Structure 1
Amino acid sequence: MFSHTDNLDALAEKPNYPSVLGFTYAPETRTPIELKVTGAFPGWICGNLYRTGPGKFEVENEKTGKKTAISHWFDGLARHHKFEIRNGKVTYRSRDGSETVEKELKERGSFPGMSYGQMPDPCERIWRKLLTVFRPAYNPPNDPTAFVVAVTPSPGLLLNGSQKQAITMKTDANILQSVDPETLEPIEAFSYARIHPELTGPVSASHSCRDGNESFNYVLDLGRETVFRIFKHDDRGHGQILATIRDAPPAYIHSLFLTKRFVIVAVWQCDWAWKGLPVLWYRNMVDSFAPWDKDRDTIFYVISRTGGLVAKYTSPTFFAFHTINSYDDHDGSIILDLAMYPDNSVIENFFMDRLRSGLSPLTECRWRRFRLRDVPEAPDKVVPTFRAEVVFTGGIDSVIELPSVAPPSHWKPYRYAYGIHVNPSTGQNSSKEVGFSQAIIKVDTWALSTPQNTNATPSHPSPHLVWRSDHLFPGEPVLVLRPLSEGMSLDDQPEDDGVLLLVTLDISRGASGLLVLDAKTLTEIARAELPDGQHIPFDVHGMWDMAAASS
Structure 2
Amino acid sequence: MITLAEHNPNCEKNEPAPSPVGFKNVPSITTPIELTVQGYIPAWVNGVMYRSGSGRYNLLMDNGDTFHIGHPFDGLAMLHRFEIQGESQTVKYNSRHTSHGVERRIRQRDPTLLTFGPDPCKTIFGRMQTVYHHISKFDTNAALQEDDPEFDMVNVTITPNFPLGESLEKETGIKRGEALVVKRDANTLQVVDPESLKPIKMFTYGHVSKKLQGQLCASHHQYDEETDEYVNFMVKLGPFPTFQTFTLGPYLPSPPGEKEQMPAPEPTLHQPIWRHLGAWKTMEALKPSYIHSFSMTKNYIIIPNFPYYYSFGGLSAIYYSCAYQTFYWDETRHTLFHVIDRHTGQHVATYEADPCFAFHTANAWDEDVELPGGRRERVIYMDYCMYENTDIVDASFELGKTPTGKLDLDQVQPARYVFDKNTHHKKEHQIAPSQFRRYRLGQVPITESSAKKWTPSWKNMFDFSKWTKYNKRRVASYTVIGYDLEMPRFNSRFNLKPYRYCWGVCESRHAPSYASGSVVNGLIKLDLNNPYMGPNTDQDATAKIWDEPGCSCAEPVFIPNPEGTAEDDGVIVSIVNTTLDNGNESCFILILDAATMEELARATIGSFNAVTLHASFVDNYGRGVSVN
TM-score range, shorter chain: 0.7 to 0.9
Separation of aligned partners in 2, 1:456 and 1:387: 33
1:189 aligns with 2:202: yes
Unaligned runs of 5+ in 1: 11-19, 486-492
CA distance in 2, matches of 1:131, 1:172: 23
**How many angstroms does 1:103 deviate by?**
1.2
How many angstroms apart in 1 are the aligned matches of 2:8 and 2:598?
Answer: 34
Distance in 1 between residues matched to 2:559 and 2:537, nearest whole Å = 34
Q: 1:483 aligns with which of 559, 562, 574?
A: 562
Could you give the per-residue CA deviations for residues 420-454 of structure 1, whole angstroms, max 9, x where no partner exists? 001468686774x7x42321000111113xxxx33
Across the two proteins, how many residue pairs are aligned to each other?
A: 522
- 1:472 maps onto 2:518 in alignment: no
Comparing 455-464 with 307-316, which one deviates more in the overlay? 455-464
Mapped contact 2:572–2:593 kept (Cα < 8 A): yes
3-state SS, counterpart of residue 526 of structure 1: strand
Which string of whole-angstrom CA distances, capped at 9 and with x for unpartnered residues, describes residues 385-442 of structure 1?
34334332256xx3111111111111110000000001468686774x7x42321000
Q: List aligned pairs for 1:49-448, cutoff 5 A.
A: 49-62=49-62, 64-86=63-85, 87-108=88-109, 112-119=112-119, 121-122=122-123, 124-132=126-134, 135=138, 140-155=145-160, 156-160=162-166, 162=169, 163-164=174-175, 165-212=178-225, 213-234=228-249, 235=251, 236=264, 238-244=266-272, 245-246=275-276, 247=279, 248-290=286-328, 292-306=329-343, 307-331=345-369, 332-351=378-397, 355-356=401-402, 363-378=432-447, 381=466, 382-394=469-481, 398-423=483-508, 431=516, 435-448=518-531
Does structure 2 conserve the Cα–Cα contact (< 8 Å) formed by 1:138 and 1:191? no
Q: What 5-or-longer segments of structure 2 have no aligned partner?
A: 11-19, 252-263, 280-285, 370-377, 406-428, 449-453, 455-465
Alpha-carbon distance in structure 2 between the residues aligned to 1:22 and 1:484:
45
Summarize deviations over 1:324-353 as a string: whole Å, max 9, x none.
Answer: 111113412001110111112322222259
Q: Indicate conservation of the 8 Å contact 1:342/1:364, yes or no.
A: no
Q: Is 2:566 the partner of 1:494?
A: yes
Aligned to 1:489: none
Aligned residue in 2 for 1:546: 619
* SS in structure 2 of the partner of residue 447 of structure 1: coil
Q: What's the secondary structure of 2:59's corresponding residue?
A: strand
Partner of 1:17: none
Counterpart CA distance in 2 for 1:520 and 1:484 is 15
The 3-state SS of whatever aligns with 1:281 is helix
> How far off is 1:61 after superposition?
1.0
- The superposition leaves residues 86-132 of structure 1 with CA deviations (integer Å, 9 ceiling, x where unpaired) of 22101110011111001111221x56432212427436433342333
SS where residue 68 of structure 1 aligns? strand
The one-letter amino acid paired with 1:301 is: H
Deviations 1:154-192 (A, max 9, x none): 123242263431211000110010000010000101111
Task: Answer with 1 or 2: which has the greater Rg.
Answer: 2
Amino acid of the residue matched to residue 495 of structure 1? Answer: E
Q: CA deviation at 1:51?
A: 0.3
Contact 1:419 1:477 in 2 (8 A): yes
AA aligned opposite 1:127: Q
The AA in structure 2 aligned to 1:178 is V
Q: Matches of 1:298 and 1:543 in 2, distance apart? A: 30
Q: For 2:547 and 2:611, locate their aligned partners in 1 and report how far apart those are by CA, in whole Å.
A: 17
**1:14 paired residue number:** none
Work out the CA distance in 1 between the residues paired with 2:620 and 2:346.
34
Name the CA shift for 1:276/1:391 in 2 (closer, same or farther; >3 Å): closer
Residues 223 and 27 (structure 1), Cα distance of their counterparts in 2 relative to 1, 3 Å cut: same
One-letter identity of the residue aligned with 1:344: T
- Contact map agreement 1:272 1:289 (CA 8 A) in 2: yes
SS at match of 1:520: coil
Counterpart CA distance in 2 for 1:425 and 1:526 is 22
Residue identity over aligned pairs, in percent, reads 29
